Amino acid sequence: MPNTLAAYAVDEGNSKGRRFAEESPVSRSEFQRDRDRIIHCTAFRRLEYKTQVFVNHEGDLFRTRLTHSIEVAQIGRSLARALSLNEDLVEAISLSHDLGHTPFGHAGQEALNECMQPYGGFEHNLQSLRIVDQLEEHYAAFDGLNLMYETREGILKHCSLPNARQLGELGARFIDKQQASLEAQLCNLADSIAYNNHDVDDGLRAGLLTLEQLEGVDAFARHCQSVRVHYPDLGGRRLIHETVRRMINAQAIDLITQTCQNIAVAGISTLADVRSATAPLVAFSPAMQAELLQLQQFLRDNLYWHYQVLREMSKARRIIADLFGVFMDDTRLLPPQYQLWAREDKARAIADYIAGMTDRYAMKEHRRLFSLAEGK
């Protein structure tokens, strides 16, 4: 059964609607329609072959941007139900929040942003918005997916002031220092819960992290110890899974408790109150936030900066830089559609093409353009 929405949640009655008017859906909500459009769009399908931490060809068991997005949506919906927020909106934001990611994860984004510095830079949140507003080509009446305002707002987690000034109403909250909806705030932290905990799981699976290392990290150690007390003979994958799921549960409960407290203390009763709050209301407790900061620093030092990961990311950066350079030198090497877009804005069209690539397509395109042995 659907949850009863809180007075300060987003619903169709207080929504700012779509950019282009459409008839209301018959058998689903407007935000369910958004979710469905996202799932059926081209950029969403490509997430299956885009890096989360491990480059796609390294193994079938590691998480990709697609599996990560599904996990964020699951965590987000559970949190939204507990807080009486709009589950369908949370699901739509969660499934679309990484649409603009480049191949090769953060290394790919950093490389493309460096290439794009003379032309306005590259940021994956803005690219996700660009995809749903312009680049998807599905509908006769408009470019993009024509999503609800609140879904688009949730996709745009961060934005510089110069970019915000170009986005009209959607960018105004960054200029006016207003808050996004609680649903958008929740998705930010559901994303954090998902990648922190599942990167631990993937790091252990890959053999780049060890249980001995993680036993020095409070967020992992206390739950691992609890599992060992209750199941002294448990080991291997079951021990890891039991620990990680307890980590996720503890973080979710902490977020729900702290957020309810923040809403009560701030006297929030309407969506307008949410937007005019002085700080985000969806949050972890200070103790949990400190614990998560330690976990994030551990993952940075021991997983994201592991020499084997850095080697792959170094290759990824070179692939992105090579592709950008060769297309800037000669746009005739682009597919016809992007050649047309390049007539108006060459660098941005090239960025759109590269950002839309999967890991394996980017590697294949690089071989086509730079390897004499590649026949076609």
Under the banding of pLDDT at 50, 70 and 90, the label for residue 372 is: confident
Residue among 216, 211, 213 nearest 228 (CA): 211
Indicate the pTM of the whole model.
Answer: 0.93
| pLDDT tens-digit readout, 212-234 | 999 999 999 999 999 999 999 99
Residue 96 has pLDDT above 90, yes or no: yes
Average pLDDT, the chain: 93
Task: Report in angstroms the alpha-carbon separations of 57 from 50, 318, 355, 362, 376.
Answer: 10, 17, 18, 12, 21
Q: In the numeric block, which tokens belong to residue 239?
A: 């021990």
Domains of the chain: total = 1
80 close to 86: Cβ distance less than 8 angstroms? yes
Looking at residue 249, what is its pLDDT? 97
Looking at residue 375, what is its pLDDT? 52
Residue 245 belongs to some domain of the structure: yes
Residue 315 belongs to some domain of the structure: no
| pLDDT tens-digit readout, 137-182 | 999 999 999 999 999 999 998 888 989 999 999 999 999 999 999 9
Looking at residue 1, what is its pLDDT? 35
Which residue segment(s) compose the domain that 157 sits in? Answer: 30-309
Residue among 376, 362, 374 nearest 327 (CA): 362
Residue 235 belongs to some domain of the structure: yes
Under the banding of pLDDT at 50, 70 and 90, the label for residue 50 is: confident
| pLDDT tens-digit readout, 102-144 | 999 889 999 999 999 999 999 999 999 999 999 999 999 999 9
| pLDDT tens-digit readout, 11-37 | 999 999 999 999 999 999 999 999 999
Under the banding of pLDDT at 50, 70 and 90, the label for residue 342 is: very high
Looking at residue 60, what is its pLDDT? 45
Tell me the average pLDDT across 242-269: 98
Looking at residue 106, what is its pLDDT? 87
CATH value at residue 162: 1.10.3210.10
Residue 352 belongs to some domain of the structure: no
Residue 324 belongs to some domain of the structure: no
| pLDDT tens-digit readout, 257-283 | 999 999 999 999 999 999 999 999 999
Question: Could you give the CA distance from residue 366 to residue 360 in angstroms, rounded to a whole number?
Answer: 10
Question: What is the 8-class DSSP label of residue 134?
Answer: I
Q: How many CA atoms lie within 13 A of 339 on its CB side?
A: 7
Looking at residue 371, what is its pLDDT? 85
Question: Could you give the CA distance from residue 352 to residue 370 in angstroms, rounded to a whole number?
Answer: 21
Looking at residue 52, what is its pLDDT? 66
Q: Return the number of other C-beta atoms located less than 10 Å from residue 141's C-beta.
A: 8
Residue 65 belongs to some domain of the structure: yes
Residue 139 belongs to some domain of the structure: yes
Residue 238 belongs to some domain of the structure: yes
Q: What contacts 324, CB < 8 A, 6 or more positions away?
A: 112, 115, 116, 350, 351, 354
Tell me the average pLDDT across 332-345: 96
